[in-house]
């Protein structure tokens, strides 16, 4: 029986990409392909104690249906943490707890997009977001970027001549896939431009707290005077991803629409998982935990940059992330990323080819490299093998 599916299904990620990703998951592979946090830092023992206490003290409420908006004390903690880290002035009432921040991406598409509407994004941008939006059949317009992030003047030009722009999706801090961070000057310019056109902004900030040096820049949300910015956050990178806990912070009129969507999508996020994060933060110092993550990832970032410098041919380029989980390789002209990927798989090492991160134009010269999940010896060995693969192709 061949079912007749909705048109949008033609737009969802092809099984081809999924098949490629499966290649990177074989146990013998040194994988820089995923975006997995380091599991050795998950607060397993602390969560065991928290779970025990929670089930003793409020088991029945934990296991019952709950409000769509989320656990009140967790919403409050999220608002407070956003203020402390990202200089926002958001109240608990402006937070919706979601099933990971991936769910916020889906909801934003659902909230804003009729078929043919325009989504603006950095070029390149996060694959999972592009895929979530694609289900709502938009047209993507890519805004040029350089090593300083999105170029606001280019955005201005695009907005002056493009109809049906519904929102712009950006990751200003340690971007996925490039690892780049926008400067203060870029942030200010960007806000001028979006204010001029009153363009809604989806600010995705999964990695902001994981800054290895210097101070966290103010979030776009903290600079927003017109209620244009929706801020997406997650516990996946500072705590653990298996619980699926994220949030969106938005103006009340916008948040109420997100809440309606949430109700029809899955009623509410796991009540037990929300309580685990909430009570963990009562009993333990999340800042101390985040420092441990930063120390480890800083070390791994340093090691991978050292290894790149040591092994890579001199005409391969890479970004130098000041935080987060990823860096971005650019191969010299004549070297195909697809061929590097295939050669790497032969050598049991993997990154993700860059083309998937560009919604329109096809490119064949980049690779995204994750450095948060592999131990030291595998980082060195993996980059060595990858360099050999490239050398064999030149």
Binding positions for a second copy, 50-69, rule CB under 8 A? 51-52, 55-56, 59-66
Q: How far is the CB of 238 from a second copy (least distance, A)?
A: 13
Segment 361 to 380, residues that bind a second copy, using CB under 8 A: none
> Where do we find the tokens 């929670």?
54
- Shortest Å distance, C-beta 85 to a second copy: 22
Q: Which residues of 33-62 are buried (b: 16+ CB within 10 A; e: fewer)?
A: bbbebbeebbbeeebeebbeebeeeeeeeb
Smallest gap from Cβ 204 to a second copy, in A, equals 14
Query: Residues 130 to 169: which contact a second copy by CB under 8 A?
Result: 131-132, 134-136, 166
Residue from the set 32, 37, 158, 325 that interacts with a second copy by CB under 8 A: 37
Considering only residues 207-226, where is the footprint of a second copy by CB under 8 A? 226
Q: At what angle do helices 184-197 and 152-161 cross, to 10 degrees?
A: 10
Query: Any contact of residue 261 with a second copy (CB under 8 A)?
Result: yes
- Are the beta carbons of 383 and 312 closer than 8 angstroms? yes
What part of residues 314-333 is at the interface with a second copy (CB under 8 A)? Answer: none
Residue 235 neighbours by CB distance under 10 Å:
26
Applying the rule CB under 8 A, the residues between 67 and 106 that interact with a second copy are 98-100, 102-103, 105-106
Residue 89 or 147: the one with the smaller Cβ distance to a second copy is 89
Residue 12 CB, nearest approach to a second copy (Å): 5
Taking the complex as a whole, the smallest distance from the CB of residue 236 to a second copy amounts, in Å, to: 8
- Listed residue (261, 86, 282) closest to 274, CA to CA: 282
Separation between Cα atoms, residue 187 and residue 201, nearest integer Å: 12
Which residues on neighbouring strands pair with residue 362, listed in sequence order?
A: none
Stretch that binds a second copy, among 78-86, 247-255, 313-321, 322-330 (CB under 8 A): 247-255
State the number of binding residues for a second copy (CB under 8 A): 85
Rg (CA), the chain: 21
Interface pick for a second copy out of 19, 161, 213, 264 (rule CB under 8 A)? 264
Give yes or no for residue 268 binding a second copy (CB under 8 A): yes
Residue of the chain from 10, 39, 283, 377 that contacts a second copy (CB under 8 A): 39
Among 82, 120, 151, 228, binds a second copy (CB under 8 A): 228
CB of 297 to a second copy, least distance (A): 16
The answer to the question of residue 249 lying near a second copy (CB under 8 A) is no
To a second copy, the closest distance from the beta carbon of 28 in angstroms equals 19
Residue 351 near a second copy by CB under 8 A = no
Q: Distance between CA 136 and CA 132 in Å, rounded? A: 8
Figure out which of the listed residues 270, 336, 348, 363 binds a second copy, where binding follows CB under 8 A.
270
Q: How far apart are CA 252 and CA 260, in angstroms?
A: 12
For tokens 């131990």, name the residue: 375
Looking at the Cβ atoms of 45 and 215, the one nearer to a second copy is: 45
The reply to whether 6 sits near a second copy by the rule CB under 8 A is yes
End-to-end CA distance of the chain: 49
- Rounded Cα distance, 124 and 258, in Å: 26
For residue 12, how many other CB atoms are within 10 A of its CB?
A: 12
Choose the binding region for a second copy from 139-147, 204-212, 268-276, 335-343 (rule: CB under 8 A): 268-276
For a second copy, the closer of residues 199 and 305 by Cβ is 199
Q: What is the phi/psi pair of residue 373, to 5°?
A: -105, -15
Contacts to a second copy from residues 185-204, by CB under 8 A: 198, 200
Q: Which stretch in 31-39, 76-84, 89-97, 360-368 sits in contact with a second copy by CB under 8 A?
A: 31-39
The reply to whether 286 sits near a second copy by the rule CB under 8 A is no
Of 128-136, 148-156, 302-310, 330-338, the segment contacting a second copy by CB under 8 A is 128-136
- Tell whether residue 293 is a contact of a second copy (CB under 8 A): no
């Amino acid at each position: 029986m061949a079912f007749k599916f909705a048109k949008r299904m033609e737009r969802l990620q092809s099984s081809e990409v999924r098949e490629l990703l499966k290649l990177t998951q074989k146990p013998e592979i040194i994988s820089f392909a995923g975006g997995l946090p380091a599991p050795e830092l998950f607060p397993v023992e602390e969560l065991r104690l928290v779970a025990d206490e929670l089930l003793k003290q409020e088991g029945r409420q934990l296991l019952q249906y709950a409000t769509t908006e989320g656990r009140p004390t967790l919403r409050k903690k999220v608002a407070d943490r956003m203020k402390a880290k990202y200089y926002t002035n958001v109240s608990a009432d402006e937070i919706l707890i979601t099933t990971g921040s991936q769910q916020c991406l889906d909801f934003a598409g659902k909230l804003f997009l009729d078929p043919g509407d325009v989504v603006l994004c950095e070029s390149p941008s996060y694959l999972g977001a592009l895929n979530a939006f694609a289900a709502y059949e938009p047209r993507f317009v890519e805004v040029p970027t350089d090593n300083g992030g999105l170029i606001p003047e280019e955005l201005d030009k695009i907005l002056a001549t493009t109809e049906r722009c519904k929102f712009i999706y950006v990751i200003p801090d340690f971007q996925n896939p490039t690892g780049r961070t926008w400067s203060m000057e870029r942030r200010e310019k960007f806000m001028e431009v979006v204010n001029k056109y009153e363009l809604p902004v989806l600010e995705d900030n999964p990695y902001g707290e994981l800054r290895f040096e210097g101070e966290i820049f103010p979030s776009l949300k903290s600079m927003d005077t017109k209620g244009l910015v929706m801020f997406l956050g997650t516990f996946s990178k500072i705590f653990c991803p298996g619980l699926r806990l994220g949030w969106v912070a938005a103006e009340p009129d916008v948040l109420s629409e997100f809440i309606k969507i949430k109700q029809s999508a899955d009623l509410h996020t796991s009540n037990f998982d929300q309580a685990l994060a909430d009570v963990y933060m009562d009993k333990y110092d999340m800042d101390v935990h985040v420092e441990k993550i930063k120390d480890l990832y800083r070390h791994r970032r340093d090691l991978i940059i050292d290894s790149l410098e040591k092994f890579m041919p001199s005409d391969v380029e890479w970004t130098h992330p000041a935080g987060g989980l990823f860096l971005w390789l650019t191969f010299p002209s004549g070297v195909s990323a697809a061929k590097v990927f295939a050669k790497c798989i032969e050598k049991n090492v993997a990154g993700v080819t860059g083309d998937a991160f560009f919604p329109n134009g096809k490119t064949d010269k980049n690779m995204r490299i994750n450095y948060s999940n592999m131990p030291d010896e595998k980082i060195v060995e993996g980059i060595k093998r990858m360099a050999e693969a490239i050398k064999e192709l030149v």
